[in-house]
Copies of this chain bind each other. A is one copy, B any other.
Amino acid sequence: MTHSKVLRPGHVSIRVLEMDDSITHYRDRLGLLEAGTDKQGRVYFKGWDEHDRFSVVLREADSPGLDYMGFKVLDAAALAEYEGRLQAWGCKTERVPAGELDGCGERVRFEIPTGHTIELYADKEYTGNGLGNLNPDAFRDDLKGMAVNRYDHCLLYGDDIPGVHKLFTEALDFDLTEKIVDGDNLISVFLSCSNKAHDIAFVHYPEKNKFHHASFLLMTWEEVLHAADLMSKYDIAIDIGPTRHGITRGRTIYFFDPSGNRNEVFCGDYTWYPDRPPITWSADNIGKAIFYHDRKLNERFLSVVT
């Protein structure tokens, strides 16, 4: 049982092949709010109910995929503490200067055993959720498309699941909430630094540093349907859904951005508390674990990554 000073997934930087189509996808279809373009041409977004300046960064590149995922920590002391613990754990860390991302303070960057780049930071410009903090309304009615609430988590594919399990739980105080095991082999781990059922998750894959999906929060199953309807109208490739996960119980739909990066919109996981035991899924139940209704995996889910 741990007690993390990591607050939440605070940003994700995604590589896209062509920026204009990508802006249309993330802004008009997912309904993220644009939050500026920096000198490098990276475009920033946030979900409507996020308070910090941005949570999604798109960077034009020759191949799609994940640049890095950043977690916000409680304060500068926590940042220094985790930096030290990561180094003690055997991670090489690097400080990315404040301002390298517009409005973001200094980041501690490190590579995890699956080859992905993760960052921690303590400061980001506060811009609010647009409702104000004095007598706010309960909702916004100027949103587009799926009107996602926030960037929520990522699922990453890589070759050392025991390694990332150890790193996140030992050096960063995450809890293991759910895992898939095949005998003694750890196939997948779901990890939380909060009361959410997952803030980051990993599935075994023979290659390092693969990106399965970035996930965005919806509030209701009706909104999952509306998201699916929009995908049909705007000809967005659906991977699977609407359906439910066994793991986390989330109600979900997977689809692809124009560059082939997988997105998820979902609602409804349970409240995690660190005093309960993690859930174990055995490999013979992996279908039900991932897609609770179909009870079998589709090939795409296992093999299409960026």
- Listed in ascending order, the chain A residues whose CB lies under 8 Å from chain B are 1, 3, 5, 7-8, 49, 51-52, 72, 74-75, 126, 133-139, 141, 145, 150, 194-196, 219-222, 225-226, 228-233, 238, 241-246, 249, 251, 268, 270-271, 273-282, 285, 288-289, 292-295
As for how many copies of this chain the complex holds, the number is 4
The interface residues of chain B lying within 8 Å CB-to-CB of A243 are 228, 242
Establish whether residues A222 and B220, one from each chain, have CB atoms under 8 Å apart when the complex forms: yes
The interface residues of chain B lying within 8 Å CB-to-CB of A196 are 195, 271
5 CB contacts below 8 A, A to B, read A139-B249, A141-B145, A141-B230, A232-B293, A242-B293
Residue among A225, A273, A288 having the largest count of chain B Cβ atoms under 10 Å: A225
**With A221-B225, A274-B74 as given contacts, are A293 and B8 in contact (CB-CB < 8 Å)?**
no
A209 to B231, CA, bound (A): 36
A281 to B276, CA, bound (A): 36
Q: Considering only CB atoms, which chain B residue lies closest to A241 in the complex?
A: B293
Which 3 A-B residue pairings sit nearest by Cβ, starting from the closest?
A195-B195, A135-B285, A138-B249
Shortest distance in angstroms between A287's beta carbon and chain B's nearest beta carbon?
10
Contact of A275 among B74, B139, B246, B285 (CB under 8 A): B74
**With A1-B74, A232-B288 as given contacts, are A225 and B238 in contact (CB-CB < 8 Å)?**
no
A294 to B254, CA, bound (A): 12
Contact of A292 among B72, B222, B232 (CB under 8 A): B232
Establish whether residues B225 and A222, one from each chain, have CB atoms under 8 Å apart when the complex forms: no
Contact of A228 among B133, B194, B244, B246 (CB under 8 A): B244
Shortest distance in angstroms between A246's beta carbon and chain B's nearest beta carbon?
6
Establish whether residues B293 and A231, one from each chain, have CB atoms under 8 Å apart when the complex forms: yes
Shortest distance in angstroms between A9's beta carbon and chain B's nearest beta carbon?
11
A242 to B242, CA, bound (A): 6
